[in-house]
Structure 1
Amino acid sequence: MTVSRRLFMAASVGTAVAASSASLAAAASRTPEAGRAVSAGPQPPYRIAISATDTPDEVVAKAARVRPTRRQVAWQRLERTAFLHFGVNTFTGLEWGTGDEDPDVFQPAGLDTDQWARALRDGGFELAILTVKHHDGFVLYPSRHTKHSVASSSWRGGKGDVLRDFTASLRKYGLKVGVYVSPADENQYLHGVYANGSARSPRTVPTPVPGDDRPAADTFTLDATDYGAYMLNQLHEVLTEYGPVDEVWFDGAQGRIPPEKVERYDWDSWYALIRALAPDAVIAVRGPDVRWVGNEGGLAREDEWSVVPVKDSGNGSVDYALPYDAPDQGSRAALAEARAVAQYVQWWPAECDVSIRPGWFFHEDERPKSVEQLTDIWFRSVGRNAVLLLNIPPDKRGLLPDADVARLREFRQRIDAELPADLAAAPGARVVRRGGVVTVDLGREREADRVRLAEDVPRAGQQIESFVVEARSGDGTWTKVAGAGTVGASRVLVLAAPVRARHWRVRVTGARGRVRFGEVGLYRSEAG
């Protein structure tokens, strides 16, 4: 069947649709918001419709009812994910390729994806995303639908497949697999496919090609342009031939082409195919599950909300209702401002992307960031209710540079030292939760200088708008030692100086709805 715009609105919140085969009927029976088997009771909504006629208080009340999907909860718990920018740009020295590169320039003679996986595991990462295709259009696996790929390089006699090595290595070392397939494609523009002005029409995916060696399989009929169909065929290859994929990453880049030659991306069909073939994968950051924080410095806002107002900007694209780089995306004031243009309030958590080096691809003259810089980024991303996406680019050998590998290990050691054993979980400690107040008795006076908090977002969503951390002195007086606005899935505060006390408490001073804490931790940093 053809996936219509109406059907996509279900697909964009998680329903797997768009198959013409009976085998995908089971996928379509999954709940829209979580991609899990239907339970006896109704599931909390992942997005709720709003309109300009809603009062500010009504919009806030709706935002308080929004809950994350299962896939979003799992993604937010990762905290740190890795990006690996690798391709022809690694060898040409460019950051954005031209699409007419000779594929033979790609010669990673020492490629060792096991080395990548070990370094990432030892650096504390659980998921890594590979640039399967960047804006230049060069593909890191032998696609049936383009010659601009590793198959046209003499590397490994034209039999190389970086994606296969990558997925095998990640699974070998216990990491989750992510893939980045750039919507922009300079090579396909040169071949008259990208931005050629073709109309959307029903396309069959996978599209058979001469000498196709695939067995008969389920097919999909999806609305797409010529280039949209090309992307669908590549997504089908990636999602059916390399094992389970846990994240599909898009950006919204357009080709560096004349302004009148714009390709309007078939987001609805792409999302629907992903939901059908990889129902547990998050779609980021131009997708319905995860949003871009708005900068490439790895920094979240001081108060980062996971529930934000969104709109559909065309072909089912989930988009910001407010400017992507607005200093406030989800407060009461932001929700009120967005009512005129937003269609929904939605659980759309932030991802903070940044490269360990100045560039996204490897350049000989660049060096990795210091441990101090990376630690500051961690506190201002993971510590502010976001997930850190750190890029570590492989070099021309096909290896992660020694300096970067060492820095990843040092970075993990530093974060472990910043937050060692949780004093609130030590023997003799006692934690009492009563609504918006959590008291901690450490059993004896202990010194702490880090506070880590989390709301129980799967059950209660994100509600806290402001809170204080207090310590009780010997005379029974409670004294404020820290405070902030939002909490969400992760909030880490650094106290101005270590505080010694037996009794501590976290007190919510502002909230949208009933607060439920998932974590309250106290730490004494061991970092030098």
Structure 2
Amino acid sequence: MTVSRRLFMAAAAAVATSAAASSTALAAPTGPATGRPTGAEPPHRIRIGPDDTPATLVAKAARVRPTARQIAWQQLEQTAFLHFGVNTFTGLEWGTGDEDPDVFRPAALDTDQWARALRDGGFKLAILTVKHHDGFVLYPSRYTGHTVASSSWQGGKGDVLRSFTKSMRRYGIKVGVYISPADENQYLDGVYANGSKRSARTIPTLVPGDDRAGSRPRSFTLDATDYGAHMLNQLYEVLTEYGPVDEVWFDGAQGRIPPEKVETYDWDSWYTLIRALAPDATMAVRGPDVRWVGNEGGLARENEWSVVPVKDSGNGSIDYALKYDAPDQGSREALAEARSVAQYLQWWPAECDVSIRPGWFYHDDQQPKTVEQLTDIWFRSVGRNSVLLLNIPPDRRGLLPDADVARLREFRERIRRELPEDLAHGGRPRHDRAAGTVTVDLGRAHEVDRIRLAEDIRHGQQLEHAVVEARVGDGWQTVTEVDTVGASRVLTLAAPVTARWWRLRAIRSRSTVRIAEFGLYRSEV
């Protein structure tokens, strides 16, 4: 959904309520529809401390703004994950690192088929597991023998990553890469968790016979352990040899190693290299741009805040200040609870990851989720101010399974039927400056059972409570209520309500609220 659509085709409503006073007012959006507010660049992170009062914390939260990179990411709404590697052929979910690379032999790899299925399913970006925890790499890396080049597949000349990137771009899908920090193969090789100290490393580190030796590649000097340098060199290969990358996805997994052998990841150096080589790439979910929602069921919290308290977790990384699975991460109460341990309030929106099948890798004995299950996940992720990351694992042929491809088409059609046509589109919203409302005239009475809301998040996430009302007879009737909205909130009514006039009325907020979308729908399900 485009920013212009969210701005009511340049006629967006702006509802304002005051967090500090009872008065309300309307304010028009500032700045161009696709850019930032005019004036100084607002902060995406603000320092806090234990001495901040509850009122000060709310005031600081109201000032936090997303970066342009984060805004673009939140507009994706629905993204795909593709878990593919040696586990696809061994039947494991977490590989051992000592697999025979020749086990990787997809009989009919067709990444165009992946791309077509994802496009037809409504996905805007796809992330490939370039390296999972086993350490097997889906391109011929110079820094390990545990790669496709050591397989007899395509005579050792295969490159899944290259095929993937070309196919995704051919079908208009953005490219993401997952390079696991955990690496069982490098542990077996004595590199991962070997106790080495951080020291200055030249990246890329040229190897004997390196084909880049005469080209004077752009280089960096970064602090890293032995394994941290290994990761930097692989990141360099991926980010310089495969075209633009739009998302780099990390988790914080440690290898299955003795507890006394822990690898402290060089997050700061990894982030620095990514920002230099792929400045537009979003870094998730152990990155500074996007956070893990806290479960692998694809479900956001009922009230999901994009402004959350965070703490330093070492080597330039941040983490939740409260428990990652806490049911409340950003309310006034949560901010006050976290102030003793948090260093910052940060715009850190949630990504909801889940697999279409029980496992993350393909297994013959598993089937995809039903359309009803996927639809419920969509409403509880995209419909709750989050981005859905749905994993669809390729099978041993190197194809997305037929059942999964069909389910993706059915899923997209179901969402289209849930929200078939915005009845408010083309309407003329009326702004009541005194009451702090947006009123929409549909021209005639319509049945409505789905409502879609969005704030103009260029100005932060501000709404804390609002009511949706319909004019029934001579008075206004409350249809539903909502607390948080953010970039996307979809509400389902228990039964259709018929009315011509509808309004959204802000009751409580942190600062000025700018509503960018007030969509009204009658579902076809």
TM-score, length basis structure 2: 0.92
Q: Matches of residues 334-373 of structure 1 in structure 2 within 5 Å?
A: 334-373=334-373
Distance in 2 (CA, whole Å) between partners of 1:432 and 1:383 is 25
Q: Which residue of 2 aligns with 1:157?
A: 155
Mapped to 2, the partners of 1:341 and 1:119 lie a distance apart of 45
Sort the Cα spacing of 1:234 and 1:433 in 2 relative to 1 into closer, same or farther, 3 A: farther
Q: Distance in 2 between matches of 1:434 and 1:395?
A: 56
Aligned partner letter, 2:320: Y
Residue 166 (structure 1) aligned with residue 154 (structure 2): no
Mapping of residues 159-308 of structure 1, within 5 Å = 159-214=157-212, 215-308=215-308
- CA apart distance, 1:42: 1.8
Residues 110-509 of structure 1 mapped to structure 2, 5 A cutoff: 110-214=108-212, 215-426=215-426, 429-434=427-432, 436-458=436-458, 460-475=459-474, 477-509=475-507
Per the alignment, residue 100 of structure 2 pairs with 102
Whether the 8 Å contact between 1:447 and 1:498 is mirrored in structure 2 is yes
Taking structure 1 as reference, are residues 40 and 421 closer, same or farther at Cα in structure 2, changes over 3 Å only?
Answer: closer
Residue of structure 2 equivalent to 1:25: none
1:56 maps to 54
How many angstroms apart in 1 are the aligned matches of 2:37 and 2:208? 45
Tell me, what secondary structure is at the counterpart of 1:444?
strand
Q: 1:87 to 1:300 in 2, by over 3 A?
A: same
How far the C-alpha of 1:39 sits from its partner, in A, is 11
Q: Equivalents in 1 of 2:280, 2:469: separation in Å?
A: 40
Q: CA deviation at 1:431?
A: 1.2
Q: How far did 1:41 drift?
A: 4.1
Instruction: Quote the residue 1:17 is aligned against.
Output: none
CA deviation string 1:34-93 (max 9, x = no partner): xx9999942011111111111111011001001100010000000000000000000000
Give the length in aligned residue pairs.
Answer: 488
Return the alpha-carbon distance in structure 2 between the equivalents of residues 367 and 107 of structure 1: 23
Larger relative CO (CA 8 A, sep 6+): 1 or 2? 2
Q: Distance in 2 between matches of 1:92 and 1:59?
A: 51
- Cα RMSD of the aligned pairs, angstroms, is 1.3
Q: Distance in 2 between matches of 1:60 and 1:199?
A: 41
Counterpart AA for 1:363: H
- Kindly state the Cα deviation for residue 109 of structure 1 after the two structures are TM-superposed: 1.5
Name the residue aligned to 2:31: none
Offset at residue 136 of structure 1 (A): 0.2
What 5-or-longer segments of structure 2 have no aligned partner? 1-33
Contact 1:79 1:387 in 2 (8 A): yes
CA distance in 2, matches of 1:434, 1:198: 64
**How far apart, in 2, do the equivalents of 1:390 and 1:362 lie?**
14
Distance 1:507 1:322 in 2: 31
Q: Secondary structure at the match of 2:429?
A: strand
Give the direction of change, closer, same or farther, for the CA distance of 1:317–1:108 in structure 2 (3 Å limit): same
CA-CA distance at 1:318 after TM superposition? 1.3
The whole-number CA distance in structure 2 between the counterparts of 1:162 and 1:91 is 15
Q: Is 1:87 equivalent to 2:88 in the alignment?
A: no
Deviation at 1:434, TM superposition (A): 4.4
The alignment partner of 1:421 has SS state of coil
Q: Deviations over 1:484-518 (max 9, x none)?
A: 21000000000010000011111111100011011
Please give the per-residue CA displacement for 1:162-212, whole angstroms capped at 9, x wherever unaligned. 000000000000100000000000000000000000000100000000110
Which segments of structure 1 move beyond 6 Å, counting only runs of 4 or more? 36-40
One-letter identity of the residue aligned with 1:123: G
CA-CA distance at 1:430 after TM superposition:
2.2
* Deviation of the 1:422 alpha carbon: 0.4
The equivalent of 2:30 in structure 1 is none
Asked if 2 retains the 8 angstrom alpha-carbon contact of 1:430 and 1:443, the reply is no
SS at match of 1:313: strand
CA–CA distance in 1 between the matches of 2:39 and 2:521? 39
User: Relative to structure 1, is the Cα distance of residues 386 and 37 closer, same or farther in structure 2, using a 3 angstrom cutoff?
Assistant: closer
Amino acid at match of 1:95: E
CA contact (8 A) 1:301 1:328 kept: yes
Question: What SS does structure 2 have at the residue aligned with 1:395?
Answer: coil
Residue 52 of structure 1 aligns to a residue whose secondary structure is coil
Pick closer, same or farther for the CA change 1:386–1:434 going to 2, 3 Å: farther
